Amino acid sequence: RKEVEQDPGPFNVPEGATVAFNCTYSNSASQSFFWYRQDCRKEPKLLMSVYSSGNEDGRFTAQLNRASQYISLLIRDSKLSDSATYLCVVNKDTNDYKLSFGAGTTVTVRA
Amino acid sequence: DAGITQSPRHKVTETGTPVTLRCHQTENHRYMYWYRQDPGHGLRLTHYSYGVKDTDKGEVSDGYSVSRSKTEDFLLTLESATSSQTSVYFCAISESVGNYEKLFFGSGTQLSVL
């Protein structure tokens, strides 16, 4: 079983729609959780951290469910510019290099 | 922008030849990393460095070596490239942001081994 699993998608949504997807992780001792965004042929960039209580950044909402070992990302009022691959990243423990990356969920927003 | 430059951006080479990828950073970050990214896989760590001359292996280190003789430069070497090492390689640094260490990536090197 992969340490971090994501539905690869693609999630094809119209502009203005809401899209949500999850990421599951296998190590219950995982401490930190992040969503990164990667545009085609570009480097990943940090989108947001995921806090235990859930957090929001503009149109983006991230949630953590430790009991079921998943994190989620919800995008409201989707824009064309939201089209990207979203990478789930989980820190296994306090050593930063022990990050596990999901293979990504692709979102395509259409006009 | 975390001041990370990777070179070359693209490289085509033949099986069995040595290849060195360079990562250069301008902001004196202590930690540097090399990842490879392949379709269907998440980014996978080959090596990381926690200071000059201090390096360690990641989860996919076979066939790779690294060196860090200066804070600003982290080199990844494929001693004898194989077709399975065809990939996109990203260098990263980590930076403290709030309560977490966050990764910032270079633009990547597309390596093709024929």
Q: Using the beta-carbon criterion (under 8 Å), do A49 and B100 form an inter-chain contact?
A: yes
- A34 token code pair: 């992040």
Q: Which of A46, A35, A30 is nearest to A92 (CA)?
A: A30
Indicate the Cα dihedral angle B21, B24, B29, B32, nearest 10°.
Answer: -10
pLDDT tens, position by position, A48-97: 999 888 899 999 999 999 999 999 999 999 999 999 999 999 987 665 56
Look-up of token digits 């503009």? A58
Q: Using the beta-carbon criterion (under 8 Å), do A99 and B103 form an inter-chain contact?
A: yes
Spatial distance between the Cα atoms of A27 and A70, rounded to a whole number of angstroms: 10
Hey, which residues does B68 pair with through a beta bridge? none
pLDDT of residue B40: 86
Spatial distance between the Cα atoms of B46 and A76, rounded to a whole number of angstroms: 36
Q: Give the chain B residue nearest A48 (alpha carbons).
A: B102
Spatial distance between the Cα atoms of A30 and A99, rounded to a whole number of angstroms: 10
pLDDT of residue A93: 66
pLDDT tens, position by position, A37-47: 999 989 999 99
Q: Give the chain A residue nearest B41 (alpha carbons).
A: A103
> Nearest CB to B108: which of A2, A32, A43?
A43
Assess whether pLDDT exceeds 60 at residue B36.
Answer: yes
Per-residue burial over A82-105, b = 16 or more CB atoms within 10 Å of its CB, e = otherwise: bbbbbbbbbbbeeebbbbbbbbbb
- Model confidence at A22, pLDDT cuts 50, 70, 90, reads very high
- Model confidence at B107, pLDDT cuts 50, 70, 90, reads very high
Q: Using the beta-carbon criterion (under 8 Å), do A104 and B31 form an inter-chain contact?
A: no
B41 in A contact zone (CB under 8 Å): yes
* Whether the Cβ atoms of residue B94 and residue B33 lie closer than 8 Å to each other: yes
A27-31, B48-52, B74-78: segment of lowest average pLDDT: A27-31
